[in-house]
Chain A
Amino acid sequence: MPQAITVEDLNIYYGDFLAVENVNVVIEPRSVTALIGPSGCGKSTFLRTLNRMHEVIPGARAEGTVEIEGQNIYAAGVDPVNVRRRVGMVFQKPNPFPTMSIRDNVLAGVKLNNKRISKSDADALVEKSLKGANLWNEVKDRLDKPGMGLSGGQQQRLCIARTIAVRPEVVLMDEPCSALDPISTLAIEDLIHEMKEEFTIVIVTHNMQQASRVSDRTGFFNIAGTGKPGKLIEIDDTEKMFTNPANKQTEDYISGRFG
C-alpha cells in the first residue's frame, strides 16, 4: 500500500554549498506529482534525496526529514539500500545494463541482489513487468537479445520495467522523456497514467505540457540567482497551478515570461 511522503525542513548541500533550501511538502500516495522549474533550480537534486541517491555524488548530503510510511529515511541506522528498494528511480538517459539481455535487465533487481528465483516465477515477473511498462508485445520474441539493441524509447520503458519489477512503492522519474521522440514520450506518458494505480510517482520535467498532461499535483522550484539555493515556491493541484497559481513567480514561469 503506497504511503504519503512527508518532507519537512529539508536542506540539501553539495559540500558547503546549499543547493536546495527548506523544502516542506506532502506527496500524496497513488498520484503523480510533477516538479517543474528552470535548469539548476534543484528539482533533480530534490528528487534524488527522496531515495538517497544524491549520496552517490561525493560531498552531497541532506538535512531534515523525509518520512515514508511514518519512517524517516534519514534517521540514524537506516540503510540507503533498503530505502532504494522501496523507492525506485528512472533516469534521464535510458541506462539498461549493456552486459544483460532484455530478460536479465528486467530481473536485474532480483539477480544483482543474488536472490534465488524459480524459472517460472522469473518468467511471470518478466512478463508482468514488461506488460506493466507496455513493452511486452514489442520484445516478447527476443527476450534473450541484448537490452542495448532496443530503440531509445524502448530502452527507457525497459528501465521502467526493471524498476517496477522490484515492486517499489514510489517511482521517481528524472526527466524520463527528455531524450525521447514524441511517440515514445506519448507511450511513457500513457504508462505513467496506468502506473499511478499502483505506485506513487514523482516526475521531474522541463516540459510544462507534459506536467499538465500527466500529473495530479505540480510543484514549482525556482532559484533567485546563480549561487543562491533553489526553493520550492509553490505546490498545488496541477489544474490550479496552470490556470490560477497563487504565486507571481509561478505565473511568470508558466506563462513563459522567464526561464
Chain B
Amino acid sequence: MSETPAAHTAAPAARARIDTTSERHLPWYHLALTGLASAVLAAIILLALGKLSIAGVVVLGYLLHLIIGFAYSRVREGRRWATDRFVSLLVFGAFGLALIPLVSLLMEVIVRGAPRLVAPGFLTGDMAGVIGGMDAGGIWHAIVGTLLVTFWASVISVPIGLFTAIFLVEYARTGWMKVLGKGITFLVDVMTGIPSIVAGLFGLALFVTVTSNPGIRIGMMGAVALSLLMIPTVVRSSEEMIRLVPMDLREASYALGVPKWLTIVRVVLRTAIAGLTTSVTLAVARVIGETAPLLLTVGALPLLNTNMVSGRMQTLPTFINSQYKLGNAVCNSDTLTNPITGIEHACSVAINFDRAWAAALVLIMIVMVLNIVARLVSYFFAPKSGR
C-alpha cells in the first residue's frame, strides 16, 4: 500500500457517474394514469363496437395497459423498469384471475343460501313430514350426521396416518424397514389417487361381507369409506411436517438420555404440532364434502339419527344432492299440511333449490370454522422465537 492520499481522492472522479437519466423509477401515479388511459381507450373501443360493459372494460383495459404501460415505461423509465412493470402487471393479473372463481363462488353461495339459512327452524329442524313444495324443513339432522361421520373418519384415520408418518420418518431408515417404508410410501401415493366412489364401494363391500346383510347402511360404513380417503392425505402431509423437524433437536434430546419414543412424543411431535394440525384439517376438509361414498354407505334419512352403528343417517353433501335432484316443486294449492305435526305451511316452487344452497353455505362455514380452529392451534403451539 504505497498509494498517496492524492491518488485516493483522484480515483472517484475518474469513475463514471451513476446514470440518473436513462433509467429511473417514476412515482406510482404515472402507472395509475396509463392505467386510466387504457381503461378509457378500452371503453371507447367497446362503445364503438356497441358492447360496453364493466367486465369488458376491465379485461380489455388490462390487456391494453400491458402494451401501453410497457411502452410508456420503456420511453420514460428505461428497459429494466419497463420489464419490471410488465411482469408485475402479469403477476397481479394472474392473481386476480385466480381470485375470480373463488370470490364468485362464495358470493353465489351466500346470495342464494343466506335467505333460507335464516329461515325459522332451518338450522334446528329436520325433514320429517316435509313434502312437496312445503316452505319448511331443516338440516339439523344433516349437520349432526356430517359432523359425526367426519369425526369418526378422523378418529380412524388420524392415528393410523400419524403413526405411519412417524414410522416412515423415524424408523424406516435402514435395512428391511427402509424397504418396507418405500413400499408403504408407494402404496400411500397410489391410495391418494383412489376415486372416492371406489372408497365408497370398498366400505359397502366390507360391511356387506362382514354382516351378510346386502341392505346395510350405517354411519360407521361412511366413516370407514371416508377414512380410506383421509389416511393417505394425513400420512403424506404429516410425513412432510415431521421431516421438517431438524435432526439437531432429536440429537439434543438423545444426548440428554431421553429414549427414542419420548423424543418422538415430546420433542418431534411437539415441535411439529402446528403443521400436524394443519395437515389433519386439510384432510378433514378434503372429505367433509364427499358425496358419492356417503350415498353408497350411509344413505339418507329425513330424521336425526346419532347412532353410528345402526340405521341410515343424513349428511350435508347427500342432502344437497337429493334436494337439488328434486328440482322445482309443484304447487297445486297455496298451502300444504305437514302430516306429522299437522302444521300448515305455504307452498314454494323453488324451496328445494333454496335448501340445497343454504346447506352448501353451512358446509362451507363448517370447513371455515375448522380452518380457524386449526389456525388458532397453530398460533398457540408453534415454536416461539420472540424475546
Chain B proximity mask over A83-123: 1 for CB below 8 Å, otherwise 0: 01110110101011111000000001101111000000000
Instruction: Tell me the count of chain A residues lying within 8 A, CB to CB, of chain B.
Output: 35
- The one of A56, A80, A86, A88 in contact with B251, judged by C-beta atoms closer than 8 angstroms, is A56
User: Is the pair B385, A149 in contact by a Cβ cutoff of 8 Å?
Assistant: yes
- The one of A93, A98, A99, A112 in contact with B256, judged by C-beta atoms closer than 8 angstroms, is A112
From residue B235, how far is it (CB to closest CB) to chain A in Å?
A: 21
**CB of A30 closer than 8 Å to a CB of B:** no
A residues less than 8 Å from B262 (CB atoms): 112-114
Known: A81-B258, A85-B257, A113-B262. A91 touches B252 (CB 8 A): yes
Counting chain B CB atoms within 10 Å of each CB, which of A91, A111, A113 scores highest?
A113
User: Is the pair A108, B271 in contact by a Cβ cutoff of 8 Å?
Assistant: no
Whole-angstrom CA separation of A82 from B258 in the bound complex: 9
User: Is the pair B173, A166 in contact by a Cβ cutoff of 8 Å?
Assistant: no
User: Is the pair A51, B255 in contact by a Cβ cutoff of 8 Å?
Assistant: yes
- The one of A80, A82, A91, A146 in contact with B384, judged by C-beta atoms closer than 8 angstroms, is A146
Known: A95-B249, A112-B267. A89 touches B255 (CB 8 A): yes
Give the residue name and chain of the B residue nearest to A109 (CB).
B256
User: Is the pair B257, A113 in contact by a Cβ cutoff of 8 Å?
Assistant: yes
**Residues 114 to 145 of chain B near chain A (Cβ within 8 Å):** none
User: Is the pair B386, A163 in contact by a Cβ cutoff of 8 Å?
Assistant: no
Whole-angstrom CA separation of A58 from B247 in the bound complex: 12
Whole-angstrom CA separation of A148 from B249 in the bound complex: 12
From residue B177, how far is it (CB to closest CB) to chain A in Å?
A: 10
Known: A56-B250, A59-B174, A95-B251. A109 touches B258 (CB 8 A): yes
A residues less than 8 Å from B247 (CB atoms): 56
User: Is the pair B255, A53 in contact by a Cβ cutoff of 8 Å?
Assistant: yes
B residues less than 8 Å from A142 (CB atoms): 387
Counting chain B CB atoms within 10 Å of each CB, which of A51, A53, A99 scores highest?
A99
User: Is the pair A112, B263 in contact by a Cβ cutoff of 8 Å?
Assistant: yes
Chain A proximity mask over B237-269: 1 for CB below 8 Å, otherwise 0: 000000000111111111111110011001100
B residues less than 8 Å from A96 (CB atoms): 252
B residues less than 8 Å from A111 (CB atoms): 266
From residue B149, how far is it (CB to closest CB) to chain A in Å?
A: 34
From residue B247, how far is it (CB to closest CB) to chain A in Å?
A: 8
From residue A48, how far is it (CB to closest CB) to chain B in Å?
A: 9
Interface size class, chain B = 20 to 34
Known: A112-B267, A148-B384, A149-B386. A88 touches B173 (CB 8 A): no
**CB of A162 closer than 8 Å to a CB of B:** yes
Whole-angstrom CA separation of A82 from B259 in the bound complex: 9
User: Is the pair A91, B248 in contact by a Cβ cutoff of 8 Å?
Assistant: yes
Whole-angstrom CA separation of A163 from B253 in the bound complex: 10
Counting chain A CB atoms within 10 Å of each CB, which of B248, B255, B385 scores highest?
B255
User: Is the pair A148, B256 in contact by a Cβ cutoff of 8 Å?
Assistant: no
Counting chain A CB atoms within 10 Å of each CB, which of B258, B262, B270, B271 scores highest?
B258
User: Is the pair B384, A108 in contact by a Cβ cutoff of 8 Å?
Assistant: no
**Residues 253 to 306 of chain B near chain A (Cβ within 8 Å):** 253-259, 262-263, 266-267, 270-271
Q: Which residues of B contact A (CB under 8 A)?
A: 173-174, 178, 246-259, 262-263, 266-267, 270-271, 381, 383-387
Given contacts A58-B174, A113-B262, A146-B387, 11 further A-B contacts (CB under 8 A): A81-B257, A84-B256, A85-B256, A88-B255, A95-B246, A95-B248, A108-B258, A112-B263, A146-B385, A162-B252, A163-B255
